[in-house]
């Protein structure tokens, strides 16, 4: 079954991780993010974002601020087909917070694809675990925040986002 959708983690994957960022002027793309997203879309792959935003649950930012950052990412990379956001903290024990599958399943439903037709691209183990729990495939693009054991256990690893897109298209 071919890949019909790619879901990206936001912070540390599509954009530089600025903890609890609610300021769209602080959004900076990760290297090759634009080329990656453009290449996937050129091949008809639907794109979405799945992101934990516990700063909302902690009272450090509002959903309005999350949406303003989301709008800036859309301005920089083109509009994504879906944004799925978990505003909860770990203590809330919700089904949407990665590494649980809720965000991935909701994004697949919104894009009209099955998890089996979907690849999740992220920078930490929780992204890989959420994909696995949902029945999707996953590719890790490590950053300085990625732990060595997360790299070792990842189903696929790419050096950057463009390499990840090429892996998706070659599969």
φ and ψ at residue 74, rounded to 5 degrees: -60, -40
Residue 164 contacts residue 36 (beta carbons within 8 Å): yes
How confident is residue 171, by pLDDT bands cut at 50, 70 and 90? confident
How do residues 64-121 score in pLDDT, each as one tens digit? 999 999 999 999 999 999 999 999 999 999 999 999 999 999 999 999 999 999 999 9
* Cα distance between residue 81 and residue 151, in whole Å: 28
Query: Could you check whether the bond before residue 37 is cis, i.e. omega within 30 degrees of 0?
Result: no
The top-level CATH class assigned to 5-170 is alpha beta
pTM of the model: 0.96
Domain range annotation of the chain: 5-170
Distance (Å, rounded) from C-alpha 97 to C-alpha 92?
9
- As a whole number of angstroms, the distance between CA 105 and CA 96 comes to 9
């Amino acid at each position: 079954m071919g890949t019909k959708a790619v879901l990206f983690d936001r912070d540390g994957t599509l954009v530089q991780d600025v903890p609890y960022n609610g300021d769209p002027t602080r959004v900076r793309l990760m290297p090759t993010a634009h080329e990656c997203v453009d290449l996937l879309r050129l091949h008809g792959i639907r794109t979405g974002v799945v992101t934990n935003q516990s700063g909302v649950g902690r009272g450090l930012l509002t959903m309005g601020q999350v949406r303003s950052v989301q709008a800036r990412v859309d301005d920089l990379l083109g509009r994504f087909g879906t944004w799925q956001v978990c505003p909860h903290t770990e203590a809330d024990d919700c089904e949407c917070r990665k590494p649980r599958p809720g965000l991935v399943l909701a994004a697949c439903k919104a894009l009209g694809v099955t998890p089996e037709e979907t690849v999740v691209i992220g920078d930490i183990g929780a992204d890989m675990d959420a994909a696995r729990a949902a029945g999707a495939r996953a590719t890790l693009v490590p950053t300085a925040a990625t732990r060595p054991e997360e790299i070792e256990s990842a189903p696929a690893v790419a050096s950057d986002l463009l390499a990840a897109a090429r892996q998706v298209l070659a599969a």
